[in-house]
Amino acid sequence: MLHDAAHVWHPYTQHHQAPLPVPIVRAKGAWLYDANERPILDAISSWWVTTHGHCHDHIISAVTEQAKRLDQVIFAGFTHEPAAALAAELVQRLPRGLSKIFFSDDGSTAVEVAIKMSLQSFANRGAPRRLIAALDNAYHGDTFGAMAASGRGVFTQMYEPLLFEVARLPDPSVGDTIAALDALIAERGTELAAVIVEPLVLGASGMRVWDEQVLQDIRERTAAAGVHLIADEVLTGFGRTGPLFACERADVRPDLLCMSKGLTGGVLPLGATAATEDIFDAFRSADRAKTFFHGHSYTANPIACTAALASLELFDEESEDDRVRVEVAHARHLEALRGVKGVRAVRQIGTIAAVELEAPSGYLSDIGRELAAYALQEGVLLRPLGNVAYCLPPYCITDAELDLVYGVMHRFLGGARADALSSGGPVDD
């Protein structure tokens, strides 16, 4: 790992303080294996992406065969079966009415695409709207449009002077979002192009769960005002909240829906933005200036699209049973943690479980890196969001493996700590 220390700049890492990164050489199921073949239980799906488990045979086999036929081709003026088939499959599984799929590279770019589509669709129709509304404590990515829509905090404050105006609505887990939205529409409704939300759970700010009725009310207000609803399902998509998409829990159809992370089962990077026919039609014109001028070199990469298709094929009754099993196990463990000394609150939605610890709140809270270091010593990968520890595992995780994860939390809360803790260990994004 000498080359890593000499040349690699890692994400979300303070290199002045961080311990050396753990070299991982292989993975299978819910487990990672380091260079010494020490197993590490992946309790966070490697940044929320690994849905069915690492190196799933079905996905790996499909990717291997596709790589032998077609690795990459420009997607402007050309097409290929993996992308066309994936788009058709997504449309069948998405909330009804989302009929067009635009491919990109990751969650942040999927959000950028959605924001640009919304703004340009109004401009193309000769009635430009420039305002986007977003929730306090939201996180939508690290590119500039996504940062602008995200809540202000350690991730974005450095760049705030460069970010475009966004109207802020209260975090639905703590405030009256609908009253604020009503007031915004009354005051600036003719300027408002879109409201963007992480449906039902604000991820990076601490897995803050919010009510389905609020999402329904946001949809009702935006539809009545002719305002687009953008659902950022980068985290919540592909079964994390129960159904395939979180919007399904509330029976809500957004105008734009952003996907990534679990889209390929965690095998390859891929993003996608789903849009309604109405938004797509705003770009149909004899005027070439009304084209959607956005694209990426690896848009709809054939191998990544194949991985996504193979992953979708695994969302069957067995997968649903696994997700239910994980939900039940989470609920049992969280109930055991409720009221334990050092626990402020517990919360859950679907296969996402969170434990808020009694410690200074916020992303930079020291307790998060302390728990991460202790868990790693115990052979479990946890990367708390400051003082919020969460478990978001691959669906293949067994009940016994979940027992290991929660056992680490119990021992930590009972006073256990890592033998040697650096002054700046890992924290999550």
Contact between 209 and 348 under an 8 Å Cβ cutoff? The reply is yes
Q: Is 261 annotated as a binding residue?
A: yes
Q: Which amino acid is at 385?
A: L
Q: Is 139 annotated as a binding residue?
A: yes
Q: Is 383 annotated as a binding residue?
A: yes
Length of the chain: 429
Q: Which among 270, 248, 214 has a CA at the least distance from the CA of 101?
A: 270
Distance CA 345, CA 83 (A): 43
CB count within 10 Å of CB 29 equals 18
Token pair, residue 419, equals: 């033998």
- Of the candidates 106, 136, 232, 322, the residue annotated as catalytic is 232
Q: Is 140 annotated as a binding residue?
A: no
Report the DSSP beta bridge partners of residue 272: 103, 259
- Of the candidates 100, 136, 261, 322, the residue annotated as catalytic is 261
DSSP 8-state code for residue 276: E
Q: Is 390 annotated as a binding residue?
A: no
Token pair, residue 250, equals: 């509330």
Q: Is 145 annotated as a binding residue?
A: no
Q: Is 422 annotated as a binding residue?
A: no
- Of the candidates 42, 100, 139, 255, the residue annotated as catalytic is 139
Token pair, residue 193, equals: 């192009």
Q: Is 108 annotated as a binding residue?
A: yes
Q: Is 12 a catalytic residue?
A: yes
- Of the candidates 12, 28, 290, 366, the residue annotated as catalytic is 12
Distance CA 30, CA 41 (A): 6
Q: Is 261 a catalytic residue?
A: yes
Chain-centroid distance of CA 372 in Å reads 20
Burial of 123 (0-12, 13-18, 19+ CB in 10 A): middle
What does R_g of the chain's alpha carbons equal in angstroms? Answer: 21
Coil vs helix vs strand at 98: strand
Distance CA 365, CA 255 (A): 37
Q: List residues forming the annotated binding site for pyridoxal 5'-phosphate.
A: 107-108, 232, 296-297
Q: List residues forming the annotated binding site for substrate.
A: 47, 139, 261, 295, 383
Please identify every residue annotated as catalytic.
Answer: 12, 139, 232, 261
